[in-house]
Amino acid sequence: MNALAKLRIQATWAERLPLPFETAGAIRFDHQAQFHPLRFAASLTKGLRIFENTAYRALDGRSVRTDHGSIRAEKIIVATHFPVINWHGLYWMKLCQHRSYVLALENAPDVQGMYIDERMGGLSFRNAQGMLLMGGGAHRTGKRGGGYAALAAPATDKLKV
């Protein structure tokens, strides 16, 4: 809480939460946005020409050379998970992808907010379209993880669904 206060981020400590299981408490951030990520992305891309699954061979100013020709544009946005060019520290070599899972649970409680566990592999909860979205089970891509089965036990034990 002290770190948040120093950063002038408004937060409060909550002893009790509207979750159907015991917690040690939580840091509460009021007025968080909750939105549909695909609708948000679609609104950002209106009027744009998007070239997906297009490997680039060279980026030169307002031109991108691909295996199938060149693309010229006023503005070019390269949207990748990893940096395209990063010579100085080769930090891209230190990056790794993680995977997590989400269950959409019917007949589950309304948790009246969004919650995330601070532990690696912890759970997250939020309601959407009358269902409870429970996420978790994170693991490094390519490594063995629990998959959706890792969420089944908490859904049954904690949420009784």
Q: How many domains does the chain have?
A: 2
- Per-residue pLDDT of 19-54, as tens digits, reads 888 888 999 998 888 888 899 989 998 988 888 888
- pLDDT for the residue 85: 66
- Which residues pair with residue 125 across a beta bridge? 115, 134
Mean pLDDT of the chain: 87
Last residue of a domain, one of 94, 114, 137: 94
Could you tell me the pTM of the whole model?
0.73
User: Span 86-111, mean pLDDT?
Assistant: 84
Q: How far is CA 20 from CA 7, 14, 109, 121, in A?
A: 32, 15, 7, 20
> Could you tell me if residue 35 is inside a domain?
no
Domain containing 80 equals 40-94
- pLDDT for the residue 102: 94
User: Are both 102 and 153 inside the same structural domain?
Assistant: yes
> Could you tell me if residue 13 is inside a domain?
yes
Q: DSSP secondary-structure letter at 42?
A: H
